[in-house]
A = this chain, B = another copy of it.
Amino acid sequence: MSRVECRISDVGLRHAVLGLLDDEPGSGYDLLKRFQQAMGNIWHATQSQLYGELGKLETAELIEVTSEGPRGRKEYAITAAGREELRRWLVDEKPAMTPRNESLLRVYFLGAAGRDRAREYLTWLGEVAQARERGLTELDESIDWGEGDTYLYGRLVLEWGRRFTAMQRGWADWAVAQVNPSV
């Protein structure tokens, strides 16, 4: 009855920011780089979206400015309320999993482009997958994972990426052969 609930929308970016800041405080600029690197295969954010979200999260007191540096740099850290919200999202909220796969959408309609273009596209998809696979393997080898479980979940995600790209490459090879059946 008297409980006032601050409703936070179930959006990826918001919780991605909370998660990254939970891991380690940082500025908008820092986070942008972390999005490009660590989250590159998982979630995308533009600079403009990030700064907007940081503002909203600060207003909602889920994060706070912990220090200000040169060039107007503001370092944010997650608050107790933010940590609670992150936990709530992970525990209580059912993942949305809205499918939105442009690569496959194109495959579905490839008939309208002709066989040559279809093969070309599928070949390209395989190449992209292979390149990403190589990138992930290099990333894996470049990281000192240490002993314990410090990077446990990061490793799970990396392994997922590896399996995904391997799958995609294998499928693309097979698909190209399907479109070009020894005719």
Contact = CB atoms under 8 A, between A and B. Distances in A.
Contact of A43 (B19, B23, B99): B99
A105 interface: yes
Contacts of A143: none
Contacts of A102: 12, 95-98
B117 A90 contact: yes
Contacts of A1: none
A160 B90 contact: no
Given A99-B41, A102-B12, A90 B108 contact: no
Chain multiplicity (copies): 2
Contacts of A152: 111, 178-179
A101 interface: yes
A154 B108 contact: yes
A32 to B, nearest CB: 15
A73 interface: no
B95 A113 contact: no
A165 B40 CA distance: 22
Interface string A48-82: 00000000000000000000000000000000000
A3 interface: no
Q: Which 7 A-B pairs have the closest CB atoms?
A: A19-B109, A90-B113, A167-B167, A44-B98, A42-B104, A156-B175, A110-B153
